[in-house]
Structure 1
Amino acid sequence: MKLPIYQIDAFTDKLFCGNPAAVVPLTEWLSDESMLQIAAENNLAETAFYVPTETGFHIRWFTPAVEVDLCGHATLATAYVIFNIQGYEGQVIRFSSRSGELIVECKEDWLTLNFPVDHFQVAVPPPALMESLNSTTMLEVYKGKSDYLVVLESEEAVQNLDFDIIVLSTIPARGIIVTAAGNDVDFVSRFFAPQSGIDEDPVTGSAHTTLIPYWAEKLSKNKLTAKQLSKRGGYLKCELDGERVLIGGQAKLYLRGEILVD
């Protein structure tokens, strides 16, 4: 069986930046084992699979190790494929997913994810977090649905973060978001998810479901700009809209081809 496959750089307007994701359109679901094997073979942070439904599309995301509940950059990459390659007519796509309904709107060359907000609470840092960031001053620590959010004193502290990835991988969470106010944007962040097979994710849309409500309250503004300070980097336009967050980004097609599945 031959399946189309695309690789998209998400949250960037130029190649070799942002967060690469593979996208595999399907007419019906493969087995979970087959999708995980494809994701492992791709060896990217995320591979997205989708099938058409009566109201839009159903989307699922796999790292090389596990299926995950939500992935922003692979959803944005999937929307890029549907809008720009599959010839979808319309400006809004509705996805059903393990995280509920997800909406993506296309305006010119910007794609805006409409995701549910993450609710988080003040947390006591687990011992492994304190140990892994032992030379870093943590101003605040929160725990959301799946991630810890760690607030640092400056953009430079986030950029130059000294941490132990082995110890970090023992923390019982999907991942760790590290953030601070930005110098030329409202806020910056980095995201680490060794528990999901990703030491550092280049640009993490789902982490912004936590970051946006935090910084909207902290800065007393609902529209924000953000950068993720990974090596590849990424730029996002963000907005808090009640119980939803709007996460805007661009994308570039890097690869198109086909894969052979027995």
Structure 2
Amino acid sequence: MTYLEHVGKYFMMLKRVFRKPQKRRVFYQALMKEVEDLGIKSLGIIMFISFFIGGVIALQTALNLDSPFIPDSLIGFAAKRSIILEFAPTFCCIILAGKVGSYITSSIGTMRVTEQIDALEVMGINSLNFLVLPKIIAALFFYPFLITLAMALGIFGGWIAGVLSGLFAGTDYITGIQTDFKPFLIVYALIKTIIFSFLIATVPSYHGYYVKGGSIAVGRASTQAVVWTTILIVIANYFLTQMLLT
């Protein structure tokens, strides 16, 4: 199958996904389950990585700005820009693509190879709507909160790193964070997060839903899903940056 055929099949899948759910109560229960599986269970790793990567960014910036003519407040400014513009929305979503994407593909793929999806179709249930739409909604609503938390923890981690290492004063770091603050940068990061969240929920679902074969095929599809989701996030990041910041 060519890439264009895959793209066409992907959009045909989305057309079926966004039909009206048949039973609201069942849909709500599925949505709550996806919020827990895709969002709440990812809180720990995002919080841990955000805090320490923020500290690393601040330390590396401080070590490379050793000129007496450059104010220490520039460390906070540079860390703020790096974390808000790229680290939190892009790097964290790539991490989520690996963690969540493989889970989505393997769970749906297992249902496919064990004929559970065929059973849903026989019962007259729109399997794509039942399986994929809750994942999309959970990702779109929860991941912006997750990325906002990553921004805050990354900046806080930079401040902690400076205080503990003694490379720069905490007051200078806070001054740098407040310098030339543009609220649109937060909006830009959240727009990217929404686009990336949609890709994280739908691309692995596509690979899992249309998998053919047994357990080996499911494992292969999980790997392909993570790779393609990461590639699409990087490509989307380039075009979004080009459109929104230039």
Task: Quickly name the TM-score band, shorter chain normalised.
Answer: under 0.3
Q: Which has more strand, going by share of residues?
A: 1
Q: Which has the higher contact order (CA 8 A, sep 6+)?
A: 2
**Larger Rg computed on CA atoms:** 2
Q: Which has more helix, going by share of residues?
A: 2
- TM-score, normalising length from structure 1? 0.22
